[in-house]
Amino acid sequence: MLKEYKTVTEVVGPLMVVEGVEGVKFEELVDIEIQTGERRRGRVLEIDRDKAVIQLFEGSTGINLQETKVRFLGRPLELAVSEDMLGRAFDGMGKPIDDGPKIIPEERRDINGVPMNPVARDYPSEFIQTGISAIDGLNTLVRGQKLPIFSGSGLPHSEVAAQIARQARVIGEGEDDKFAVVFAAIGITFEEAQFFIEDFNRTGAINRAVLFMNLADDPAIERIGTPRMALTCAEYLAYEKDMHVLVILTDMTNYAEALRETSAARKEVPGRRGYPGYLYTDLSTIYERAGRMKGRKGSITQIPILTMPEDDITHPIPDLTGYITEGQIILSRELYRKGITPPIDVLPSLSRLKDEGVGEGKTREDHADTMNQLFAAYATGKKARDLAVILGETALSETDKAFAKFSEAFEERYVSQGYGSNRNIEETLELGWDLLKILPRGELKRIRDEYLEKYLPLETEGVE
């Protein structure tokens, strides 16, 4: 028999204080009945002797301190998981929102998860194809990796997220049949939610996806639970059903804002920009749930997406995210203004595990060499274009002009492919070789001779 308390003494924002409690545990789920008979849920956030601080999921509006009844349920917040979740859409707390039947769970799991033992981790090494050349060719995504996308306000990160979710696949006989996408939208608008749902349904990507949608008008406190709901679902599919799961989380900035709101309500000492001092630790409990586990066939790959306030990459959210994850993909406002879609800035972008997912048997033997050459040539070409702006094009040598021409073609043909174009890795590599024809053969110093002879015969040399 659950004990009922009517000793609510304070409500501040999304927090409620209950006194005189006994046997209450951290993260315990709470049932709250307000004076109108309406039931709300919360979880225990802090315990101090006989006082418990409760985090309210549905907000504190309309709560009467004297007539509110509180019951501690003796279990943490859980998600009912089943393979039938594939093809379904849920709200931020795991309730179906697609008019489909209720999920009959195979089991219920604590959304806070269990940390993966570092000794049990297997090193990421298999290639994941996103269909986007700027990622597949130059900043390769590897199965089990954490590769965030850093965006800015007004940039098309929603379109990029939908494109990756729609096109991503693993290469290998029978492997793609075991691939799934778990997509969690955190604090997005109703229009964005409709865009994602319609895009998934229109393209058929919904059949292999699980969607969690937390809207901007939902209580901010739900945003703290939404990514954990998604990762709990992903862990079940990966480690119990042997699937390769790609988790996309957008927008982690909204998650951090909700964390700051809760911290302020608890009157904690703020850290940088008002965010709690434990922001790094909290983000790590989300990001570090991705990976491959020894002895398990499944894997979890994670792409968190965040908008950098004022395009500031030193802001605490992207700064701390960069410390935890293995690289970053950066969207460029300059490229976006030029009409490049998707506007991925390849020079500051980095996938720290890209070398592990390329080469013979994974992509193609020439991938690593062409990757390095394209990157170096684009950087040289951008410098040449900047020099031409200052000194005029006449100040450039013929080689500099070739590199400048290459950099323009690279942006227009390689980076800019549109949101509906799905290039396989062969097409991306061939496009790279085609662009390298613009440069003098003697400048291709990062590619081995045997690959030049095989993929760029002498008669196809571009500069005369």
CA distance readout (Å), 177 to 173, 209, 243, 249, 361: 9, 12, 9, 23, 19
Residue showing tokens 């920009």 = 273
Q: Which amino acid is at 251?
A: D
What are the CB-based long-range contacts (under 8 Å, 24+) for 438-446?
Answer: 438/402, 438/405, 438/406, 438/409, 438/462, 438/463, 439/377, 439/402, 439/403, 439/406, 439/463, 440/399, 440/402, 443/377, 443/399, 443/402, 443/403, 444/373, 445/373, 446/369, 446/372, 446/373, 446/376
Which has the closest alpha carbon to 168: 208, 202, 210?
208
> Is residue 379 within 8 Å of residue 386, measured between CB atoms?
no
Separation between Cα atoms, residue 166 and residue 419, nearest integer Å: 10
Residue showing tokens 């000794």 = 119
Separation between Cα atoms, residue 93 and residue 186, nearest integer Å: 11
Domains in the chain, CATH or no CATH each: 4-76 (2.40.30.20), 79-357 (3.40.50.12240), 367-460 (no CATH)
pLDDT of residue 463: 46
pLDDT of residue 395: 84
Percentage helix, strand, coil for the chain under 3-state DSSP, each rounded to 5: 40, 25, 35
Separation between Cα atoms, residue 332 and residue 404, nearest integer Å: 19
Phi and psi angles of residue 33, each rounded to the nearest 5 degrees, phi first: -115, 115
CA distance readout (Å), 433 to 54, 348, 403, 453: 59, 22, 15, 12
Separation between Cα atoms, residue 238 and residue 113, nearest integer Å: 14
Strand partners, 32: 40, 70
Residues 6+ away with beta carbon under 8 Å from 32 = 16, 39, 40, 41, 42, 54, 56, 63, 68, 69, 70, 71
Provide the token pair at 324: 């935890």
pLDDT of residue 464: 44
Residues 6+ away with beta carbon under 8 Å from 196 = 158, 161, 162, 183, 185, 188, 211, 213
Asked if the bond preceding 251 is cis, omega within 30° of 0, the reply is yes
Separation between Cα atoms, residue 99 and residue 27, nearest integer Å: 30
Separation between Cα atoms, residue 189 and residue 460, nearest integer Å: 51
With the C-alpha atoms ordered 382, 387, 389, 394, is the resulting torsion angle positive or negative? negative
Asked if the bond preceding 342 is cis, omega within 30° of 0, the reply is yes
Provide the token pair at 198: 């319609």
Q: What is the model's pTM?
A: 0.91
pLDDT of residue 1: 64
pLDDT of residue 174: 66
Task: Find the DSSP H helices in 62-153.
Answer: 133-136
- Residue ranges of the chain with per-residue pLDDT less than 50: 460-464
Phi and psi angles of residue 432, each rounded to the nearest 5 degrees, phi first: -60, -45
Residue 55 Cα to chain centre, angstroms? 26
With the C-alpha atoms ordered 44, 47, 51, 55, is the resulting torsion angle positive or negative? negative
